[in-house]
Chains A and B, each alone.
Chain A
């Protein structure tokens, strides 16, 4: 079984629009949205949820005011400045609490409770392009890395069950924990970039991260015609670092028009773009 991950470093370069189109083009796959923080793929694929489960991960500290003697040990020991004293009470600010249990362990009155954190939900759905595994972290929630690992495991199980040989994943922007969780064991990272200073800068960082995990990199330059000089800079960088260049896509609002219709770009009839994206997907599958 092969796993392909579409990422970008910089946000908004076209990851999800392209992942949606690839999902349309390949029949033998499981689709997985690993951008659990701000997922968008479901907007294009209109999934029907078949299975839903709570994602409970980590804990948060809550001070039992009946037991608290206001000694201040918890606030003193908390490295995240999550415990403040106001109106004669010590209170944990949930957004700052890391769930490290230090306050729970050191409170001499055993006044700090440690409650499981309900961080979001995950789903298995059916779409017009096949089975999709996805999730939604609650706004402001933590543990996106753990949720990403969980989704990947569920996607692998689904693939085995359905006899699929490919898992196609839409990744998160950045280079932090959700992206790192997405990379381990991935066969190919398709990095979508754009010919801007940010596009190149962020491509270099995310490609370095991929190399760190020994994941092969294929690069798509979206909106390549916006700045041909930058595009050739990106291509030079890729050649020097042995990253595969799998295609250039022109700046075109057809992606947005498709999105407004809740379609992927390859479903728009008679467009050159559909053909171009198809050729890119063929190149990508040729690398697997």
Chain B
């Protein structure tokens, strides 16, 4: 089973929930940080990293001696990444989406595959029982989905080999990176806080992810803060609230020290064990699907 922890609004507690869930998960589990722009899960799970590799996107490299300036490549490119300027074919590699169209269409064999570094993929394990995988975008790289896609492929391989479940810490937002993170999961957990901002973005996330037809459930963080709109909405849409973490300065302080919230007290550990059990009980035919 693959569970994604998403939110819409940032800072609602995705990483808190992901780290806590991974540490109480009963079956073999792979914790995956797909918030490649700002990955934080490793700061709480402190994994030993056993493998790191740079990840690249394929981009075109021009052999000017073969280019006849026919412009078939630049006419095809939708991203202004390859253009004829004067009598030279220029590439703007940071704009390239790696579709491979220019390489395939060039009739002269004047383009060959080159690379742009997207970031780093890291693998390891935490506390001897949690397998760990993360992507970290190169600072300056604009596109996160290509790196996320490669991390997800690695995730699938590991899951097959280890017969494990995956917990994905997703990026905030509701557009392409967030959708890319959750689209291959079996179940989406939306972590929200009961504030107007939290509710507004939670609702956007729910709208965005609804089209995928996957079961969704809710974890409320900082319960006691704000107002009732999240609760009313969940009630209306029959979205189950599987756990509620209280608004508590002690929890915020523990987080600020890099502690896993599930380890703070027996009550909190129970809360996350119950949440893990509820999630493990889900299958695709669950009533909320």
Contact = CB atoms under 8 A, between A and B. Distances in A.
Interface of A: 8-13, 16, 37-38, 40, 43, 58-59, 77, 79-80, 95-96, 98-102, 105-106, 137, 139-142, 144-145, 172-177, 180, 194-198, 201-202, 205-206, 208-209, 212, 223, 226-227, 230, 251, 253, 256, 259-260, 262
Report the 7 A-B pairs with minimum CB-CB distance, sorted nearest first. A11-B10, A12-B11, A139-B208, A100-B99, A174-B37, A227-B256, A197-B43
Given A37-B175, A256-B225, A226 B10 contact: no
A38 B195 contact: no
B88 to A, nearest CB: 23
B44 A260 contact: no
A173 B172 CA distance: 8
Nearest to B46: A197
Contacts of A98: 97, 99
Nearest to A202: B38
Interface stretch (B124-132, B137-145, B272-280): B137-145
A102 B101 contact: yes
Nearest to B229: A260
B11 A11 contact: yes
B255 interface: yes
Interface residues of B, number: 62
B17 interface: no
A212 B252 contact: no
B255 A79 contact: no
Contact of B225 (A99, A174, A253): A253
A174 to B, nearest CB: 4
B106 to A, nearest CB: 12
B196 A259 contact: yes
Given A11-B10, A101-B101, A140 B174 contact: yes
B104 interface: yes
Nearest to A104: B76
B8 A260 contact: no
Interface in B1-27: 8-12, 15
12 contacts: A8-B10, A12-B11, A40-B200, A58-B78, A77-B100, A95-B179, A174-B172, A202-B40, A212-B140, A230-B257, A251-B249, A262-B196
Interface in B228-285: 247, 249, 252-253, 255-258
Contacts of A262: 196
B253 A227 contact: yes
Nearest to B210: A139
Contacts of A172: 173
B173 to A, nearest CB: 4
B195 A259 contact: yes
B175 A142 contact: yes
A188 to B, nearest CB: 19
A38 B197 CA distance: 9
A139 B209 CA distance: 8
Given A38-B9, A102-B100, A260-B196, 5 more contacts: A40-B197, A43-B196, A139-B211, A142-B175, A175-B139
A111 to B, nearest CB: 17
A106 B174 contact: no
A162 to B, nearest CB: 28
A140 B195 contact: no
Given A79-B99, A98-B99, A139-B208, A175 B76 contact: no
Nearest to B175: A37
Nearest to B227: A260
B171 interface: yes
B76 A226 contact: no
A223 B43 contact: no
Contacts of B79: 100
Given A38-B8, A177-B143, A102 B104 contact: yes
Contact of B139 (A16, A145, A205, A256): A205
Given A140-B174, A174-B171, A101 B76 contact: yes
A182 to B, nearest CB: 11
Nearest to B207: A139
Interface in B132-189: 137, 139-144, 149, 171-179, 183
